[in-house]
């Protein structure tokens, strides 16, 4: 059992819950959720079956993006009265592309002690199962929906392995945008239904993965890793950046090759060929 005496000064617990397999609930999470006075959750209908399974009868209130500010005020009042509150999301860790940041920030500013009860989270679970060629990555949550906004997004993060969430019904459109913007040599990993019966991981070029999901089930929660952009012969990404900037300024491919070869002592023909292939 958790030693609650050491936790008497904690007033809000941010508690991770399973992302699929309910057996991933931790012993401490169960203890804490039974001991607090109130549990704030995204959707009571989603959380109630999980809590019932573990014999947790603590009162539930909804806490989601549409009532976050009002509910934060109510929770602050309860905490002022000496109550202890737990925050959970529908699945995984609160505040990671889920509601909770407003509440945590308010409590932090007021000097209220917040403690995490760690557990399941889709991002580290997914990253532990897919090929990776370094430790560095960017997590960007859900990508924008518009084609132009997506291109700007993936341009910003193209030098890093980039993890993002996407809905099943939009994933193919998003991958098609990636294909058009970065080309068919771009690699991606897609994970769906993590920890569940139909868990699936696909890794390959963007074109290969698009084709696979044209003929196979694409349902459930989706996590993706878009690998850092590399060219076929290992061209320097910094050189590509310089070419893009000069193109935006209106320079021709010939002018760009002359400028960059003169300034940075790189092969003129190499720059010219690269420039021809960069939009």
The average pLDDT across 189-195 equals 96
Q: Which helix (H) or strand (E) holds 102?
A: helix 101-109
pLDDT at 231 over 60: no
Shared domain check, 128 and 103: no
Band of the pLDDT at 182, cuts 50, 70, 90? confident
**34 CB-side CA count, 13 A:** 14
Cα 75 to Cα 70: distance, rounded to the nearest angstrom: 9
Note down the domain range covering 255.
237-276
Final residue in a domain of this structure, among 55, 87, 120: 120
Final residue in a domain of this structure, among 92, 120, 148: 120
- Look at the chain and report how many structural domains it folds into: 3
Shared domain check, 105 and 88: yes
Whole-number pLDDT of residue 226: 96
Residue 84 lies in a domain: yes
Whole-number pLDDT of residue 245: 85
pLDDT at 233 over 60: no
Whole-number pLDDT of residue 145: 87
Final residue in a domain of this structure, among 120, 147, 172: 120
Question: Dihedral sign, CA of 95, 59, 27, 31?
Answer: positive
User: Is 25:37 a contact under the CB 8 Å cutoff?
Assistant: no
Question: Dihedral sign, CA of 204, 205, 211, 213?
Answer: positive
pLDDT in tens, 149-161: 998 888 888 888 9
Residue 253 lies in a domain: yes
pLDDT in tens, 202-226: 999 999 999 999 999 899 999 999 9
Residue 68 lies in a domain: yes
Percent of the chain with pLDDT over 90: 65
pLDDT at 235 over 70: no
Whole-number pLDDT of residue 183: 83
Residue 252 lies in a domain: yes
Cα 32 to Cα 13: distance, rounded to the nearest angstrom: 8
pLDDT in tens, 34-74: 999 999 999 999 999 999 999 999 999 999 989 999 999 99
Residue 231 lies in a domain: no
Give me 65's structure tokens: 């993006």
Mean of per-residue pLDDT scores for the chain:
89
Whole-number pLDDT of residue 8: 65
The average pLDDT across 141-148 equals 90
pLDDT at 90 over 70: yes
pLDDT at 200 over 60: yes
Shared domain check, 191 and 258: no
| β-pair type (187-192, 222-226) | antiparallel
Whole-number pLDDT of residue 232: 42
Measured CA to CA in angstroms, residue 103 lies from 82, 133, 168 at distances of 17, 36, 29
pLDDT in tens, 1-29: 444 445 568 899 999 999 999 999 999 99
Shared domain check, 146 and 216: yes
């Amino acid at each position: 059992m958790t030693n609650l005496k050491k936790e008497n000064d904690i007033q809000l617990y941010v508690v991770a819950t399973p992302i699929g397999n309910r057996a991933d609930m931790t012993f401490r999470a169960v203890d804490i959720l039974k001991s607090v006075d109130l549990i704030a959750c995204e959707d009571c209908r989603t959380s109630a079956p999980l809590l019932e399974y573990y014999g947790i009868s603590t009162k539930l209130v909804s806490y989601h993006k549409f009532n976050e500010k009002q509910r934060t005020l109510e929770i602050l009042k309860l905490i002022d009265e000496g109550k202890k509150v737990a925050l959970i999301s529908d699945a995984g860790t609160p505040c990671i592309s889920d509601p909770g940041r407003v509440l945590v920030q308010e409590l932090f500013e007021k000097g209220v002690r917040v403690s995490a009860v760690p557990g399941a989270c889709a991002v580290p679970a997914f990253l532990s199962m897919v090929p990776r060629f370094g430790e560095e990555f960017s997590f960007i949550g859900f990508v924008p929906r518009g084609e132009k906004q997506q291109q700007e997004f993936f341009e910003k993060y193209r030098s890093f392995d980039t993890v993002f969430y996407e809905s099943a019904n939009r994933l193919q459109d998003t991958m098609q945008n990636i294909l058009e913007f970065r080309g068919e040599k771009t690699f991606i990993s897609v994970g769906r239904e993590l920890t569940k019966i139909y868990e699936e991981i696909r890794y390959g070029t963007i074109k290969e993965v698009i084709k696979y999901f044209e003929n196979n089930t694409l349902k459930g929660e989706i996590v993706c890793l878009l690998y850092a952009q590399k060219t076929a012969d290992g061209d320097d990404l910094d050189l590509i950046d310089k070419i893009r900037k000069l193109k935006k300024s209106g320079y021709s491919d010939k002018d760009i090759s002359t400028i960059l070869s003169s300034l940075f002592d790189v092969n003129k023909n190499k720059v010219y060929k690269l420039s021809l292939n960069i939009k």
